[in-house]
Amino acid sequence: MTARRDPRCAHHPHGSVTKLLLLIAAAVAIYVVLMGVARKRRRAAEPPPSEPMVPCAYCGLNLPRSEALGAAGCFFCSEEHRRLGSK
């Protein structure tokens, strides 16, 4: 009498290929997730867009245009320098 092999216990050569493909797919998925996280961190770390700088007509101090006080076509760094006017 010959012993019959149980087909469920037989070595399947395709099983190791499937495991390798799953491992590669998992590695690719982890890489994609990590790159997405890194990209978001880089975007958050980018400095805000630069703003035009203007010199104070009295003392010459450069300051952002949004913070400067304007009068008669000139920019000043403070109310005091605006009162004193340009040199």
Query: Where are the domains positioned within the chain?
Result: 13-46, 53-84
End-to-end CA gap in the chain: 116
Q: CA-to-CA distance for 36 and 51, rounded, in angstroms?
A: 29
Whether 7 has a pLDDT exceeding 60, the answer reads: no
Amino acid at 64: P
Residue 4 pLDDT: 61
Residue 41 pLDDT: 80
pLDDT interval class at 76 (50, 70, 90): very high
**Mean pLDDT, the chain, whole residue set:** 84
Task: Say what the pTM is.
Answer: 0.44
- The residue among 62, 59, 67, 68 whose CA lies nearest residue 86 is 59
Reading the block at residue 64, the tokens are 């952002």
Cα–Cα distance list, 48 to 33, 34, 70, 75 (Å): 26, 25, 24, 23
